[in-house]
Structure 1
Amino acid sequence: MGRADGTTTTTTAPAGPGSCRAMGPSLTVAPATRRSHPVDVPGTRRTGPFPSTRSPWETLLAAGSPFRAREGHSLIARGQPCPGVTALLRGHLRIYLQDLTGRELVLYRLGPRDICSLSLVSVLRDQPFPANVVAESDVEGAQIPRTRFLELLDRDRGLRHHVLAYTAERLAEALALVECSVFGDLQDRILHALVRRLDGQGEAAVLSVTHEELARETGSTRESISRTLKLMERRGCLRLGRGRIEILERGMLQRGASRNGPRNPGGENQTKG
């Protein structure tokens, strides 16, 4: 996305089945600036005293090159070189896999003050990025080049502890996704998809999402998604609208998403995709 010297770079990659454009022309990289944010990434303060007054989050921002991208633009495609560890300041990114038919599997989303765990993996292993990244809104963040990031890890104990804690948290989320995908029914997958989109919102919230988008995210079909959402609407946990889903009780969704194993064998909630 940007070079460590802070100069602007824009590249494009040909689109094709199972791939996405590496970067859009609207992606701009500003000269590196020092930023300060009083709110840390969750888990920052659990690792004990740090060798400096900076939090790990502030340390990463100070070492990175800022970037910006507009909604809908692809930041990186699977198999491309990883430009560094990505820390997101504003907006939302979707990290996903895509097969040759265009079907997607959403691995996770990044929100404000999140770190891309797959960029950590790529940097630490010095390997290409293993997924696709697209901006779901206008985004702003910072990227820390590999050499600089490894230097920070080597000398900053607080940052090392934070990176380990954050990676462990993301690994737990990935295991939950695998369990849901392999052992869960379609309703399980829909619940997990809705809960992921609700991050940072209140008890009642309106999600701008279509049935087609949920079908791509859950590896199902639009017709199956529509049938299952109608069942969930009758149970009172959500209300459907055109291109929107109103969550009436977030707690109900979260409790349903946290369940393990099949529910009510033979019942209506065993809808398959």
Structure 2
Amino acid sequence: MDYQTASSALKSSFLFSSISDQDLADLLARAEEKQFVQGEYFFWEGGAPDNFFLLISGRVKVIKHGSQGRETAVAFFSPGEIFGEVAVLEDKPYPASAVALETSAALSINRQAFRDFVRRHPEVTLAMIGILSGRLREAQSRLHDLAGERVEQRLSRTLYRLYSKLGPELPFTRQDLADMSGTTLETTVRYLSRLKQEGIITSKRGLVVIGDGPKLAVLAEG
């Protein structure tokens, strides 16, 4: 493990930002750095929650698997963010799968080691509550969008939310974007074509590139 890189990743995480260097060193001694290639899974839906992860580099997509094998993207994570922690805290199977969108590195933290650490550092519990509350607010916002906004605005909001979190290159198919926006593939294809004609995006198979973030923000706000 590159100790300096791993330590910097922990310090940049909101969850561990208030922890002393000595306590971070103690946690690092219990953690393991793992490398993942594009398309490799960190964990699978329904698997035993042995570890959660703090992303050091790369990008991660969390997906739910449908009854007929269809996948739906439900969350995305960038360096400094944690994922898989809810299953670890509840000691219940992972509710979704996590896959690397590109070559990625992450700290894997064992369930028991983390529970022991939290018992000694209640401030980490408060930080965890803050993280989960933020995710709940985001989920509520997405539900509001699905219930009340026009299809075009929902698609624009989905694109802008992903752009704000992951940067201009979005490695998603048109079906991914349709699923995340609660609309059909045909509608998504038509709207992406319009955005392409207006110079807001460019696209190719499995990738959408945001070329004009300010214009997209205006569309997302309606």
Scaled to the shorter chain, the TM-score interval is 0.7 to 0.9
Give the C-alpha shift of residue 211 in structure 1.
2.6
Aligned residue for 2:160?
Answer: 195
Distance 1:252 1:193 in 2: 14
Give the C-alpha shift of residue 43 in structure 1.
7.3
Q: Secondary structure at the match of 2:106?
A: strand
Query: What's the RMSD between the two structures over aligned residues?
Result: 3.0
| Structure 1 pair 123–183 and aligned structure 2 pair: CA distance change class (3 A) | same
Match among 51, 64, 68 for residue 101 of structure 1: 68
Deviations 1:101-129 (A, max 9, x none): 3443322101111111xx22111211110
Give the C-alpha shift of residue 44 in structure 1.
6.0
Who wins on radius of gyration, i.e. which is larger?
Answer: 1
Aligned residue for 2:53?
Answer: 86
Give the C-alpha shift of residue 179 in structure 1.
2.2
Match among 16, 41, 63 for residue 13 of structure 2: 41
Q: Secondary structure at the match of 1:79?
A: coil
Larger helix fraction of residues: 2
Match among 81, 96, 100 for residue 114 of structure 1: 81
| Structure 1 pair 195–42 and aligned structure 2 pair: CA distance change class (3 A) | farther
Q: Gapped runs of 5+ residues in structure 2?
A: none
Residue 124 (structure 1) aligned with residue 95 (structure 2): no
Distance 1:95 1:190 in 2: 19
Aligned residue for 2:210?
Answer: 247
Q: Secondary structure at the match of 2:63?
A: strand
Residue 238 (structure 1) aligned with residue 200 (structure 2): yes
Deviations 1:183-233 (A, max 9, x none): 3343233223322432253xxx45454434423444544321121223445
Question: Which has the larger displacement, 145-154 or 176-185?
Answer: 176-185
**Paired residues of 1:105 and 1:219 also in contact (CA < 8 A):** no
**Paired residues of 2:202 and 2:211 also in contact (CA < 8 A):** no
**Paired residues of 2:202 and 2:208 also in contact (CA < 8 A):** yes
Match among 111, 127, 134 for residue 146 of structure 1: 111
Larger strand fraction of residues: 2
| Structure 1 pair 164–55 and aligned structure 2 pair: CA distance change class (3 A) | farther
Q: Secondary structure at the match of 1:37?
A: helix
Q: Secondary structure at the match of 1:97?
A: strand
Question: Runs in 1 of length 4+ with deviation above 6 angstroms?
Answer: none
Give the C-alpha shift of residue 73 in structure 1.
1.9
Distance 1:110 1:240 in 2: 23
**Paired residues of 1:103 and 1:216 also in contact (CA < 8 A):** no
Q: How does 1:118-267 map to 2 (within 5 A)?
A: 119-198=84-163, 199=165, 201=167, 205-233=168-196, 236=198, 238-243=200-205, 244-257=207-220, 259=221
Distance 1:211 1:192 in 2: 15
Q: Secondary structure at the match of 2:107?
A: strand
**Paired residues of 2:74 and 2:180 also in contact (CA < 8 A):** no
Counterpart residue type for residue 41 of structure 1: S
Q: Percent identity?
A: 21
